[in-house]
Structure 1
Amino acid sequence: MIVPRSVKTTCPYCGVGCGIVADVASDGGVSINGDTEHPANYGRLCSKGSALAETIGLDGRLLYPEVGGARADWETALDLVAARFSETIRRYGPDAVAFYVSGQLLTEDYYVANKLMKGFIGSANIDTNSRLCMASSVAGHRRAFGSDTVPGCYEDLELADLVVLVGSNLAWCHPVLYQRIVVAKEKRPELKVALIDPRRTTSADIADIHLSIRPDGDVALFLGLLRHLASNSTIDADYIARYATGFEQALAAAQALDRDALIRRIGVPHSQLEEFYDLFAVTERTVTVYSQGVNQSSSGTDKVNAIINCHLATGRVGKPGMGPFSVTGQPNAMGGREVGGLANMLAAHMTIEDANDRDCVHRFWRAPTIATKPGLKAVDMFRAVGDGRIKALWIMATNPVVSMPEAENVRQAIASCPFVVVSDVTADTDTAKLAHVLLPALAWGEKSGTVTNSERRISRQRSFLRAPGSARPDWWIVTEVAKRMGHAEAFAYSAPADIFAEHAALSAFENIGTRSFDIGAYANLDSRAYEELEPFQWPCRVNSPGTARMFAEGGFYTQDRRARFVPVRLTAEERTTSDFPLTLNTGRVRDHWHTMTRTGKSQRLSQHYAEPFVEIHLEDAKRFRITDADLVRISTGLDAILVRALVTPRQQPGSIFVPMHWNDQFASCARVDRLVPGMTDPISGQPASKNVPARIERFHAATYGFAVLRERPKHIAAEYWAIAKCDGGWRLEIALAAEPADCSAFASGLLGKARDFIFYRDLQTGRMRFACYDNGRLCGILFLAPEPVAVSREWAISQLATTTIATGKRNAVLAGRPGPGAADRGAIVCACFGIGVNEIAAAVARGCCTVATVGEATQAGTNCGSCRPEIRKIVDRHALANAN
């Protein structure tokens, strides 16, 4: 019998680091709620966090080690990994092996992997998927502050009088932070929000100003702002004189630019630009929040420093309601930075280039060696795998065949590598399929350790589920391999508390205030204190509490303890050509996460967007003869994908947007990173995923289809397909280049064999409909048509939940819509509560004339709030219709 309990843990999604309470019932059921006492979220959760209980099932789990595709025991698998890595190092040297790790790892996992590679193998060839999301922030921080330090905290978002969102769709990517701003703005309407983004994202719903800049126009924008601040006497000369150097050079670089050329590069009207510049100049309490739209660029580090320059110039750093604020995309991207998970860093924020830092880490670890030069960063690492320089590769908790740029080249590189180890949770990711050895790791809810969020707050992630099968913690897997490679004494950990204590001790080792990362107060933590550890912010030195803000009075971590202004210069960013006239931008959607290995398990999270799509402006759709819901082929010089067209004014003319999430388990041809070249920022090594020249064309399908299925088909014989979990089974969109020779056989292949099979064909329109039943229970419905299928999808899905359907009513299912008096939710708008557009429209028709009253009537928008802009549009459309 299971003992009911409540466990406080931390969300495994974005870098907000929300606290969660997991309640485990006596029958094993788990319910998830926000932790009202956690300072990151105070009980709020987004749609993904709210649905976590739906993603912890064992379907698709890797439960046992596998060698060569066959089940093995741990001894066999670990011995093989240790032997092959050791042999490769002996024959070819330490740089012939590499680890590619992840912001999904806990800090303790990260620490031992970094320690093994850099201190005991002697190579720095360990990099992380965090390289893809925040490496430019790290580089910018180090150039300006002398350390990778985020100076502010979440409270600053509520204390600010101006919040500038740069390249950050906070409403969808960090919804809990977005809601903190929404609430603050409701309390203080004078709080202004400026959105700087080529797209009109959902975050524009609360923006007072939206600067729809050209792709990569950020550097020009903030160079212009620095000039404006100087010309309007908004510079804090006292702060600069006391705490910074290089201002004159940075300003001279900005003033050297032609004003008209600068405005053209930014791409917004001069009047709108001046409005933003004036607002920034007169508003002391200003926070600039930036994310992937800044970082994922070939000039990402310069963008970061252009932003920081403006804050340093006005003295708006580390004070309440002020500062540049990088928000990370993964739950432990910050923790990975702390332990040296990047190829160009050492543990505890020390640097490989610094001989004193190398010596410090070397002596603390009592290591036989230490990496003496930076290792290969992610893009270069996989190129080295492809050309044979790296001969043994270990991938931990990530799916680079989907998420890396040049994704198809990455797949081929991994496939050609002599020895590949993948330790992960899921058995059949695109990457796991290529492994020689698969090692089953613990998933969220099963593992225990710490994570660090975007405001430098360290929180515990605690287990509340039993380890399934033979799955083991990542730290245990790494240390067992390390022991077999001859390093047993240095990796003799019995629990994550031991690793955390060592990590804390290293942070304080010979640190006399010269390094910002210091959690030495926890160096003597025992297992009980570790289990009870409350969230805290670093630095947290011995006899010193955690610090919310830094640098208000200098104290930077450069040699002279002064901040550095960085002269930033414009580089050529125009990449489109006559062959590839559009700019492709990639990113996230509201309810999915990375490559969908977790969120793809939740039917609720697949309701909002159930298939891959491309956002395209109306002008471009007309230009390329594309209509809404068409299937389109997007291509670059590298590859091509097939996705659904979503025609929308949210895009700029000339730009398109495709989400990064869909992989080969959920779509036929939608891995968007197949299209992205491996162009990187020259300083940070971060790939540029926001400005890719592309072209688009309509895919001419002869037959379109939509199906709901109780069982997932083993094979889908269609050029285009996209499948997603739904209530009771699966939903499937398909398109074929030619009509099937035998439509009934095609339907049987999808729907499976059943006792009763019903078929309808309209000879005039060419539409066909199939349904199959087993003892009165619906097994599946398939709709085929020569145009995109027009049926009520949510209603069709609801039929799977019906226990039995009477014989006389089975034909009615083929209608694809409810009969008179029956309810149809329509497309889902609110994923948290499953509220559809028709339900919201009905509430509006009954007199609910605001988002708040719609929420009171339906619950829509009352949890994470990220659907409120869509609800507002429905309300506004109804008001406009009544006015006309």
Structure 2
Amino acid sequence: MHQPTDKPAPTSGQRICTTCPYCGVGCGVEVIHDGDMVTSVQGDRDHPANFGRLCVKGSALHETLGHHGRLTRPRVDGREVDWDTALDSVASRLAATRTEHGDAAVAAYLSGQLLTEDYYVANKLFKGFLGTPHLDTNSRLCMASAVAAYKRAFGADAVPCSYEDIEEAELVVLVGSNLAWNHPVLYQRLKAAKQRNPLLRVVVIDPRVTDTCEIADLYLGLKPGSDARLFNGLLAWMADKQRLDTIYLEKHTAGLDEALAAAREDDPRIEAIAADCDLDSEALETFFYWFASQLHVVTLYSQGINQSTSGTDKCNAIINCHLAGGKLGLPGAGPFSITGQPNAMGGREVGGLANQLAAHMDYHTPGAIERVTRFWTTGDLTPRLPNSPGYKAVELFNAVERGEIQAVWIMATNPAVSLPDANRVRAALAKCPLVIVSDCMADTDLMDYADIVLPATSWSEKDGTVTNSERRISRQRGMLPPPGEARHDWWIMVEVAKRLGFDAAFAYTHPGEIFDEHARLSGFENTGEGSRLFDISGLAGMDRAAYDALTPIQWPVNRAAPFGTERLFEDGHFATPTGHAALVPVRPRAPEQALSAARPLRLNTGRVRDQWHTMTRTARAPRLMNHRAEPFIEVSPADAAALGVSDQQLACLTSRTGEYCGRIRLSKGQRRGEVFIPIHWTDRFSMAARTGGLLEAHIDSLSGQPEAKHGAVSLAPLSVGWEATLLVAESLRCDTDWQEGNRYWTRIPLGHCQRLQLAGGEPGERRDWLAWVEELLPVSPSLWCDDPASGRLRAAGIEDGRLCWWLMVAPPCELPGMNWLDDRFADAQAGERLDDNQRRRLLAGCESGEADNGPLVCSCHQVGQKAIVEAIREGDASVEALGARLACGTQCGSCVPELKSLIEEESTHAHSATTPETEVA
């Protein structure tokens, strides 16, 4: 069996330039390799996306590598097999499904984590040769509404801006985007631009006060779901104040009258708009004036806009305002959708959405099906493309539930966690006759439903291209050999295609050959005005060396733009049949998930600073787990008091579809009547913290994007009799299920052990902990200190002088810092025995006199909140002073907003503690 051609192994000291696998910023990464392993990473100073900057996740990439937990052998029906057996099984079962139920009974669900080359082969195989339209991607969950809006307005899925536009703007508007946490490098670029240009203003529009507000000149904490009303109001205000660019509108657009009429259907007065959005009218009018008065305006928007049942309309409401003011197609201006995943755009380029064909062609485009058919025809082998679009993500799994889809191949994503109404998705997968999963990790929630499991390569091994939020294509270069028998996704699909009889059309031996075909298709019959905007035909024909050396470049790349295209629509000509952009009538709609007496709280969901998706990568870097170690529920202090919950208490959210348990975090930046939870935890990391289980499966009828920002929930405290923390050595086997008997548990990977956070029992109930741990673990208690009156206990298990486990029965706020204990587990791994002092200090969990630094704030330098607060109280009351003393905030900068918040809080506390006499003095 032919194996994919890989590069020679790196040599010691070699530096390899690649691309970060996290968010859509698409940062360049320089990897330092010692010949055997990656020793460190740093930002690529020559990459135009980041110019050497990296966020804390990117800086920790080398800490996420290693073969532990990786999927290394194929499995069929729960049994490990060789590749020939696995591939034969995939091909034969897919063929049998098509024979018995038809082509459309087969589906694929892909991921923005795939490379463009993987995506291209998948789209060609499923739509072109298996003949099914049902191929979609998890990009549907983050970018579909933005795509649909661009296509309605511009005629193409075309982000008009570049990152440089953010720095050249006079006004940057951030809508539904916590840029500081979700796209930290762009945030740092904007922050630096603001420091260089004091006239640059920043407006943040978001229901939550987030770290992004640190650089805001104006914050509008609008009512969730009211974005379309706000931007409709802006459009009407601009018209009423004669702030429209009438020349631009007449020459380059259509639809103004209809869009204005729709905007004026609701009361256009500032006071009415402010009331509907729950905003101060003066602050709202200030924003309207700033937007209308500046030509160079960039509006950055992300999931807070997209993840709605009216997300497409919200995006178009923003685009309408830019078109009406002529604020695009020039430096420092444009409506800029910021992608969530590293290759969401690359996947769309090759047809990775169910309503696309390939190379930005659609089913409804005249002649597109025939064009793609001609291009993909190879000798006597002719593709059989479907005639109409397939099911989008939520609809696809509904079809699985109905039995309409009998076989689904899922690659590099986890719909059992991420899709709304996830419990229903799990039930659908459980009854599906054939579930094929390609993944790099051995233990994910999805594996419980897989009939065939295929080990895929991961970031450090994959070789190909990705496209970031600004249309910039970059190379991802592998630098490590795949572990075990893991293979590239494109290779796996090529081998299946050959077994299905499609050899001639899938004769690829290298990703460069796939990219070349992709580039040629983008230029195929793509000539002249009115043709397809996506065109990278200028990159076709590269040999292997040129492909390996490809430097970052923005599309279109063709004969007219051989060096790429920084900005689109500079000539005012759009990709519509008339060449005019369309202003779209928008009528605001409330969220579909309605509040009620039973579920009175509005649920908002999103990311945290140091985590990514379902933590299969970031949880492998223990320091990234320290910033937010447990699932949490962010709630306003007023709501917490009314609902009877307190900071750090365990509580549960309940919706119509599920339950979520986490620890309360009080936040003054949270609006009353609303709560926020993170999206990252799965059943592998916590007992009941899957966000997807709480959300109902309502979607935007145009884009198919689910409504993930507007859930409806109730909140109640989780009453328990005890809380405990158990640290267990990685090598220690639990003889019984430690999860049993708990009402809450969370698993937190540390550097050299696992931290298990447990809670359970009824109030007042006590567990016989020493008997429990004796039954659970093979090493008996060696040391313990028990206080029956308070219910507190600390104990440790030592074998042959080495620490095997450590237990504390008490709320986690009483924990010492984990570093000292984790080091003792490291000593045990290295075969070192505890010395007398370490043994004496074991139950305390720290050296004598060692301070607990508190919750982690700076992940780069592992600086905790208590140490920072102490330094502030001793006079280091600036970010610069804290950096000089503790090094916090001096590397990636992601923690700077949190440092400023702590400085402000301490200043407030100091002021409130000042006596009136002192104030007079």
Q: TM-score, normalised by structure 1?
A: 0.97
- The structural deviation recorded for 1:713 is 6.3
8 A contact 1:633–1:642 mirrored in 2: yes
Q: How does 1:276-287 map to 2 (within 5 A)?
A: 276-287=287-298
* Among candidates 275, 287, 290, match of residue 264 of structure 1: 275
Distance across 1 between alignment mates of 2:837 and 2:318: 67
- The structural deviation recorded for 1:795 is 5.3
Q: How does 1:320-339 map to 2 (within 5 A)?
A: 320-339=331-350
3-state secondary structure, aligned to 1:349: coil
3-state secondary structure, aligned to 2:814: coil
> What one-letter code is carried by the residue in structure 1 that aligns with 2:557?
C
8 A contact 2:773–2:781 mirrored in 1: no
- 1:340 is matched with 351
> What one-letter code is carried by the residue in structure 2 that aligns with 1:270?
S
8 A contact 1:706–1:789 mirrored in 2: no
- 1:463 is matched with 478
- 2:797 is matched with 772
Q: How does 1:831-846 map to 2 (within 5 A)?
A: 831-846=859-874
**What root-mean-square deviation, in Å, do the aligned CA atoms of Structure 1 and Structure 2 show?**
1.7
* Among candidates 817, 839, 844, match of residue 810 of structure 1: 839
- The structural deviation recorded for 1:522 is 1.1
- 1:377 is matched with 392
Indicate how the Cα distance of structure 1 residues 191 and 749 shifts in structure 2: closer, same or farther if over 3 A, else same.
farther
* Among candidates 831, 836, 853, match of residue 825 of structure 1: 853
Distance across 2 between alignment mates of 1:748 and 1:872: 47
Distance across 2 between alignment mates of 1:613 and 1:628: 10
Distance across 1 between alignment mates of 2:492 and 2:838: 56
> What one-letter code is carried by the residue in structure 2 that aligns with 1:532?
A
8 A contact 1:795–1:816 mirrored in 2: no
* Among candidates 184, 187, 196, match of residue 196 of structure 2: 187
> What one-letter code is carried by the residue in structure 2 that aligns with 1:274?
E
* Among candidates 554, 557, 560, match of residue 575 of structure 2: 557
* Among candidates 681, 691, 703, match of residue 662 of structure 1: 681
8 A contact 1:756–1:774 mirrored in 2: no
- The structural deviation recorded for 1:737 is 2.4
> What one-letter code is carried by the residue in structure 1 that aligns with 2:750?
C
- The structural deviation recorded for 1:234 is 1.4
Distance across 1 between alignment mates of 2:769 and 2:482: 46
Distance across 2 between alignment mates of 1:427 and 1:299: 37
> What one-letter code is carried by the residue in structure 2 that aligns with 1:168?
S
1:868 paired to 2:896: yes
- 2:585 is matched with 567
- The structural deviation recorded for 1:799 is 5.1
- 1:118 is matched with 127
- The structural deviation recorded for 1:600 is 1.1
Q: How does 1:277-676 map to 2 (within 5 A)?
A: 277-366=288-377, 367-513=382-528, 514-542=531-559, 544=561, 545-573=563-591, 575-676=594-695
3-state secondary structure, aligned to 1:701: coil
> What one-letter code is carried by the residue in structure 2 that aligns with 1:728?
H
Q: How does 1:37-116 map to 2 (within 5 A)?
A: 37-116=46-125
> What CA deviation, in whole Å up to 9, does each residue of 1:324-358 have, x standing for no partner?
00010100000011001000011110001224111
Distance across 1 between alignment mates of 2:30 and 2:675: 39
- The structural deviation recorded for 1:817 is 5.6
- The structural deviation recorded for 1:809 is 5.2
Distance across 2 between alignment mates of 1:767 and 1:649: 32
> What one-letter code is carried by the residue in structure 2 that aligns with 1:135?
A
8 A contact 2:774–2:781 mirrored in 1: no
- The structural deviation recorded for 1:877 is 3.5
- 1:733 is matched with 757
- The structural deviation recorded for 1:370 is 1.1
Distance across 2 between alignment mates of 1:694 and 1:261: 28
> What CA deviation, in whole Å up to 9, does each residue of 1:442-485 have, x standing for no partner?
11010100000000000000010012111111000111111111
> What one-letter code is carried by the residue in structure 2 that aligns with 1:552?
E
Distance across 2 between alignment mates of 1:797 and 1:200: 36
> What one-letter code is carried by the residue in structure 1 that aligns with 2:261?
A
* Among candidates 223, 227, 231, match of residue 222 of structure 1: 231
> What one-letter code is carried by the residue in structure 1 that aligns with 2:791?
G
Indicate how the Cα distance of structure 1 residues 735 and 142 shifts in structure 2: closer, same or farther if over 3 A, else same.
same
> What one-letter code is carried by the residue in structure 2 that aligns with 1:116?
L
3-state secondary structure, aligned to 1:761: strand
Distance across 1 between alignment mates of 2:733 and 2:858: 29
Distance across 2 between alignment mates of 1:541 and 1:239: 28
Distance across 2 between alignment mates of 1:619 and 1:756: 44
3-state secondary structure, aligned to 1:583: strand
- The structural deviation recorded for 1:665 is 1.0
Indicate how the Cα distance of structure 1 residues 93 and 608 shifts in structure 2: closer, same or farther if over 3 A, else same.
same
1:274 paired to 2:310: no
Distance across 1 between alignment mates of 2:586 and 2:838: 70
> What one-letter code is carried by the residue in structure 2 that aligns with 1:760?
C
- The structural deviation recorded for 1:289 is 0.1
Indicate how the Cα distance of structure 1 residues 755 and 742 shifts in structure 2: closer, same or farther if over 3 A, else same.
closer
Distance across 1 between alignment mates of 2:106 and 2:118: 19
3-state secondary structure, aligned to 1:348: coil
8 A contact 1:160–1:285 mirrored in 2: yes
- The structural deviation recorded for 1:848 is 2.4
Distance across 2 between alignment mates of 1:163 and 1:606: 32
The number of residues matched between the two structures is 881
1:169 paired to 2:186: no
3-state secondary structure, aligned to 1:393: strand
3-state secondary structure, aligned to 1:558: coil
- 2:704 is matched with 685
> What one-letter code is carried by the residue in structure 2 that aligns with 1:123?
T
3-state secondary structure, aligned to 1:105: coil
Structure 2 segments unaligned to the other structure (5+ residues): 1-8, 915-921
- The structural deviation recorded for 1:516 is 0.9
8 A contact 1:704–1:789 mirrored in 2: no
Distance across 1 between alignment mates of 2:524 and 2:896: 49
8 A contact 1:144–1:564 mirrored in 2: yes
Distance across 2 between alignment mates of 1:227 and 1:468: 59
8 A contact 1:783–1:789 mirrored in 2: no
Q: TM-score, normalised by structure 2?
A: 0.93
Distance across 2 between alignment mates of 1:382 and 1:588: 24
> What one-letter code is carried by the residue in structure 2 that aligns with 1:503?
H
- The structural deviation recorded for 1:302 is 0.2
- The structural deviation recorded for 1:228 is 1.1
For structure 1, which segment, 128-137 or 19-28, has the greater mean C-alpha deviation from structure 2 after superposition?
19-28
Distance across 2 between alignment mates of 1:755 and 1:571: 61
3-state secondary structure, aligned to 2:445: coil
1:853 paired to 2:881: yes
Distance across 1 between alignment mates of 2:665 and 2:283: 28
Distance across 2 between alignment mates of 1:52 and 1:422: 25
8 A contact 2:31–2:38 mirrored in 1: no
- The structural deviation recorded for 1:655 is 0.5
Distance across 2 between alignment mates of 1:755 and 1:663: 31
8 A contact 1:353–1:372 mirrored in 2: no
Q: Percent identity?
A: 47
Distance across 1 between alignment mates of 2:147 and 2:421: 23
For structure 1, which segment, 808-817 or 274-283, has the greater mean C-alpha deviation from structure 2 after superposition?
808-817
> What CA deviation, in whole Å up to 9, does each residue of 1:787-816 have, x standing for no partner?
555222435645535654434653533235
